[in-house]
Amino acid sequence: MDLTEIFSMAGTVGALSQLKFSEVLMDSQNRSAALFERGRKVIPDGVSSPMRAFAQVGRNPICAVSAKGSRIVDADGRSYVDFLNAFGALLLGHAPDEIVSAISEQAARGPVYGLSTEGEYRLAERIVASTPEIERIRFVCSGTEAVMTAARIARSHTGRNLLLKFRGSYHGHSDALLANPANLLSGAGNAKGVSKGISDQLNRDVLIVEYNDEQEVAAAFETHGASIAAVLVEPHATNMGFVKSKPQFHRLLRELCDQHGALLIFDEVVTGFRFRFGAVCTAFGVKPDLVTFGKIIGGGTPVGAFAGKAEFLDHVALGRNVFQSGTFAANPLTVAAGNAALDLLGKPGFYEALEEKGAFVEGLLRAGFAEHGIPFVVSRHGALLGLAFRDSAEPLLSYRDVKTQDYKLFEQFHIQMREKGFLLPPSLEEPIFLSAAHTHEDLERFAREAVQTLHALRSESVPA
């Protein structure tokens, strides 16, 4: 039986999910690996975004062919329970029927016009209404563009150049946000997203301190406060694995920005609409000046947005100080998918059900770790989950803590979980993304296999 026959026999992703890996007969060469080698001839590393190369876990990337609900199927017919979920874009899981229908209907009317649409205005109104801290919003095509433009607005509004961000954070690949000063206040390199090709001046226009470190932040403002245009921060850090913020941390940032005339930018590309219907800043009781969105508000299509009070957003109005443009910004397909996604997210009980699922899998992991003597901390907020791969009862609080983890153990864990049919983010510095499509059976199997896999790997590493 060849791959074509298997797909014909299975018919759907649901049927494929019942096939064991051993039942998928392949040529002598793995098809995903063969496609990867083909891609490497015309695309650097064979991927269009670096994390897809799976280099941090020592395996070839997965070439996907289809996905539905909580499962994704690769080019070899293997089905995985997906905890990558497009790096957090798919809070609803893969291909919800309502979103597929909305995109199909819009595609038949035209995928892009280069003009505004009623759907764009409706999506903007709904997001603004969801978050009292914002008054206006403008759409772009990616989180990178959203944060890049928010930083540009902050510099325009304040007339200053310095941006303060946090070690280990990632806010997209624009020059200003990949800048890496030679002498950091935290005393060590940023070690994430480091890139050549960025001007020395931009490197001088960025300050980097440790996340959750109130003393370092206060020291940075004490020395540079008059030059800081903005502080750029995630409500919870999601590019260090999952690092929860201290309750008082963002309040301190707000106070320091107010004292020194800087703007506070919440990067909610990952967290926006993940924990509540709107930005999480509302739940935090902190009022940022600018908020960026992405991922979830696009319903699985390319999207980004920057939002805030009118006095800040008006910088991009015609004839004002900040230029921003994009042919595909608020394109009809994204707008249709976004509105369909918000329809689903806004249903009564949606976030309560997500919280219940998150608590369910967290409880199973904690119980399993306790039973097998695995001293790893489990961190969670809503549908975001993190495991700290180190022998410590203390949670991760900063990138300094993140780098104390056992990266080799995570690599082995990732490989074995992949063989067992679970797709995890291919980096210890990415969180585990839960979705509304995950069933309790999915979560129970994941927790059981994760505990057993870690117990076995740790037992093997202990000298006899």
Residue-wise pLDDT tens digits, 291-306:
999 999 999 999 999 9
Q: Is residue 57 part of a domain?
A: no
318/362 same-domain check: no
321/366 same-domain check: no
Q: Above 80 in pLDDT, residue 191?
A: no
Domain stops at, among 291, 324, 345 = 345
285/267 same-domain check: yes
Share of the chain above pLDDT 70, in %: 90
What is the band of 124 on the pLDDT scale with cuts at 50, 70, 90? very high
Q: What is the CATH number of the domain that holds 182?
A: 3.40.640.10
Of 74, 76, 165, 170, the active-site residue reads: 170
Share of the chain above pLDDT 90, in %: 77
Domain stops at, among 314, 345, 376 = 345
What is the band of 194 on the pLDDT scale with cuts at 50, 70, 90? low
Residue 4's pLDDT is what? Answer: 33
Of 68, 165, 244, 295, the active-site residue reads: 295
360/334 same-domain check: no
307/376 same-domain check: no
Q: Is residue 77 part of a domain?
A: no
How many domains is the chain built from? 3
Closest CA to 178 of 191, 161, 160: 191
How far apart are the C-alpha atoms of 138 and 131, rounded to whole Å?
Answer: 14
Q: Which of 143-152, 193-202, 452-461 has the lowest mean pLDDT?
A: 193-202
What is the rounded average pLDDT of the residues 128-145?
97
296/394 same-domain check: no
Tens digits of residue pLDDT in 330-341? 999 999 999 999
C-alpha atoms less than 13 angstroms from C-alpha of 203 in its C-beta half-sphere: 14
Do 306 and 151 meet the contact criterion of CB atoms below 8 Å apart? no
Q: Is residue 285 part of a domain?
A: yes
Residue 25's pLDDT is what? Answer: 32
442 or 2: which leads in pLDDT: 442
353/303 same-domain check: no
Tokens of 90: 């798919």
Give the rounded distance of the alpha carbon of 239 from its chain centre. Answer: 7
Q: Is residue 58 part of a domain?
A: no
What is the band of 329 on the pLDDT scale with cuts at 50, 70, 90? very high
Q: Is residue 430 part of a domain?
A: no
346 Cβ contact partners less than 8 Å away, ≥ 6 residues apart: 277
Q: Is residue 443 part of a domain?
A: no
Tell me the residue range of the domain where 25 lies.
1-49
Tens digits of residue pLDDT in 161-188? 999 999 999 998 888 888 877 545 544 4
- Average pLDDT value over all residues in the chain: 89
Residue 192's pLDDT is what? Answer: 61
In the sheet that 290-294 helps form, which strands lie side by side, from edge to edge?
136-140, 304-308, 290-294, 263-267, 228-233, 162-166, 206-209
What is the band of 464 on the pLDDT scale with cuts at 50, 70, 90? very low
Q: Is residue 62 part of a domain?
A: no
Q: Is residue 435 part of a domain?
A: no
How far apart are the C-alpha atoms of 429 and 70, rounded to whole Å?
Answer: 22
Give the rounded distance of the alpha carbon of 85 from its chain centre. Answer: 9
204, burial (CB in 10 Å: exposed 0-12, middle 13-18, buried 19+): middle
List Cα–Cα distances, 352 to 109, 144, 374, in angstroms.
Answer: 36, 30, 29
321 or 260: which leads in pLDDT: 260
169/300 same-domain check: yes
Is 295 considered catalytic here? Answer: yes
214/295 same-domain check: yes
Residue 193's pLDDT is what? Answer: 61
Do 124 and 329 meet the contact criterion of CB atoms below 8 Å apart? no
Is 170 considered catalytic here? Answer: yes
214/363 same-domain check: no
Of 74, 76, 82, 267, the active-site residue reads: 267
How far apart are the C-alpha atoms of 61 and 39, rounded to whole Å?
Answer: 11
Is 211 considered catalytic here? Answer: no
Domain stops at, among 18, 34, 49 = 49
pTM assigned to the model: 0.89
